[in-house]
Amino acid sequence: MRHARHIELIPAESVKGRGAAGRVEHRFATQTHEPCDDGWGTVEQLAAEVQVAPATQIIEERVKSIIASNDSPDISFDYSINPYRGCEHGCVYCYARPTHSYLNLSPGLDFETRIVAKVNAAERLRETFARRGYRPAQLNIGAATDAYQPAERRLRITRGVIEVMQQWRHPFSLVTKSSGVERDLDLIAPMAAQRLAAVYVSVTTLDGELARILEPRAAAPHRRLRTIEALARAGVPVGVSVSPMIPFINEPELERLLEAAAAAGARSAFMVVLRLPWEVNPIFQDWLQRHFPQRAERVMARVREMRGGSDYRAEFGRRMQGEGVWAELLQQRFRKASARFGLDRERVELDLTQFGPPPSDAPQASLF
């Protein structure tokens, strides 16, 4: 596996509120760049030019298709919809970061600051559902990047997608770490009552200080627990994702995370261990050295123990849970705590049989 060769670091004060510290070169890059002092103050000038934190840029895109298929036996759904590419939440561990490489953008800061918004997602989804050969299947919204990241407040692409789901009575699950999902309870709650919707909230830590550097623009931990409460109170089947588990960082909180989620109203849980594919590896290790220098070597040693001696292994059956003694111990802790707090129930089985076109006289929702 070829790893990124270089991270173009930006002074820490210029990336406040961002997860990555620079623009890591992606694996398709044909050139490498490094700052160089040529005797004319070039390095100092560069540092001065980047003192302003990079702003978020929304790139609107009209896509040809919106549903992606999944052939992984590790994942419980067949298809997924991601209204956005890139994610402003800036989670340093995000396994979707390498997808920005296909856009010739950096999986580092570009992933957090250059967000592609699929503005015609609802239109394309409606066209897909209307095809004669379409058959409903388990579908997840936000499997790669968060469907309720900050841009959604204005663009409302995710809401448009859910409106189409409601019109066609197509079941869906949704994963988010944003309280923004509460805005759409008027759509989600009635669908949940018909076994057409379920939501999973990602709660990675209860430590606000850790969350601030680990996932800087996501909702605070206590706010996510309130979102679980709001969903449960509205009758929506809600589960919790305590992922990823990072050894010696959030892993010691595992039992407390599950207990807090259960108390808030979660009824199921799942867990994935830290994944470091492609460019995520240097980004995460740089983050470790900046924030936990005394712990970094210990963390990576444990990661490698769970990955057969490598930083990452992508084989189905191993990539989500890891392998070896420590991975099994972590799974045992998860299973025992889930049972103790009543989170070991099966995920809600959504009903695929209700799918069908809306009545011809039904009002058409906004596409955007």
User: pLDDT value at position 348?
Assistant: 87
- Total structural domains in the chain? 1
Is the backbone peptide bond immediately before 107 cis, with ω within 30 degrees of 0? no
Residue ranges making up the domain that contains 202:
7-30+49-340
Give Cα 123 distance to the centre of its chain. 24
Q: 135 lies in a domain?
A: yes
User: pLDDT value at position 262?
Assistant: 98
78-109 residue pLDDT tens: 899 999 999 999 999 999 999 999 889 999 99
Give 255-258 contacts, CB < 8 A, sequence gap 24+: 255/333, 255/337, 256/206, 257/203, 257/204, 257/205, 257/206, 258/334, 258/337, 258/338, 258/341, 258/343
Q: 40 lies in a domain?
A: no
CA distance 244 to 91: 11
User: pLDDT value at position 366?
Assistant: 46
Q: 176 lies in a domain?
A: yes
Domain containing residue 300: CATH number:
3.80.30.30
β-sheet bridge partners, residue 57: 114
Q: 289 lies in a domain?
A: yes
CA distance 304 to 294: 18
In sequence order, what are the residues at sequence separation of 6 or more whose Cβ sits closer than 8 angstroms to the Cβ of residue 49? none
Low-confidence ranges of the chain (pLDDT < 70): 1-16, 19-53, 73-74, 361-368
Q: 351 lies in a domain?
A: no
User: pLDDT value at position 249?
Assistant: 98
Q: 65 lies in a domain?
A: yes
Q: 345 lies in a domain?
A: no
Q: 368 lies in a domain?
A: no
Average pLDDT, the chain: 88
Name the amino acid, one letter, at 145: T
User: pLDDT value at position 346?
Assistant: 81
32 within 8 A of 25, measured Cβ to Cβ: yes
Alpha helices in the chain (DSSP H): 42-49, 109-113, 121-130, 152-155, 157-168, 185-193, 208-214, 221-233, 254-264, 280-291, 296-305, 325-340
Name the amino acid, one letter, at 55: A
